Amino acid sequence: MRCPFCQEDNDKVTDSRAGEDGYVIRRRRMCLNCSKRFTTFERVAELDLRVVKKDGSRELFQPEKIRKGIERACWKRPIPTEQVERILMEVVQQIYLHESGEIDSDSIGQMVMQKLIELDDVAYIRFASVYRQFRDIHDFVQEVKPILDRNQIETRQKGSD
């Protein structure tokens, strides 16, 4: 590893720690030439995973696109950033467990929706409205009705306890 200060390729690792839930190793290094310290991060190289879009085109898997979709759905909701990160990590792990080198965008959307419905009904509906491309209010009502029915049942159960 080249020193960012003197450009020499002569250093030693002084400390190593796991970060980002064990997916990254943080290494503290010291240059043996100029004695300055710097930090490097080591992570597994991204797998060559492709997403098959609805139109049949393929593109390289980009977890950042999932993050943006989840963040948009959770915007101004009482959802901590840590939960958004946890959902992203769980979905990405699920995607990488996929057997082939390709996964269709529909499967990714379903994974995200499953996580969001467990987290927050409004975030789920926001994501679903974009993902399922609601055309009118009827599409919206069809998606909301099962959630309202579920909430009504839960309310009745709490009242009978």
pLDDT in tens, 125-142: 999 998 888 888 898 899
Entry pTM? 0.66
Number of domains present in the structure of the chain: 2
Dist. CA 127–CA 107, nearest whole Å: 14
Query: Both 22 and 82 in a single domain?
Result: no
Does residue 54 sit in the same domain as residue 21?
no
In contact, 11 and 36? CB cutoff 8 Å? no
Bridge partners of 29, per DSSP, are: 13, 38
**Per-residue pLDDT at 102:** 92
How many residues make up the chain in this entry?
161
- How, if at all, do strands 37-43 and 24-31 pair? antiparallel
Say yes or no: 35 and 98 in one domain.
no
Quote the CA–CA distance of 161 and 143 in Å, as a whole number.
29
Instruction: Give tens-digit pLDDT for 37-89.
Output: 999 988 776 668 899 999 999 999 999 999 999 999 999 999 999 999 999 98
Task: Give the contacts of 145 (CB within 8 A, at least 6 positions apart).
Answer: none
Same domain for 38 and 105: no
Q: Is residue 3 part of a domain?
A: no
Same domain, 17 and 60: no
Residue 5 domain-assigned (yes or no):
no
* pLDDT of 5 higher than 90: yes
Alpha carbons 94 and 66: distance in angstroms, whole number: 13
Q: Are residues 34 and 89 in the same domain?
A: no
Residues 62 and 16 occupy one common structural domain: no
Q: Which domain holds residue 36?
A: 11-43
**Amino acid at the residue 119:** L
Residues 34/24, Cβ–Cβ less than 8 Å: no
Q: Is residue 2 part of a domain?
A: no
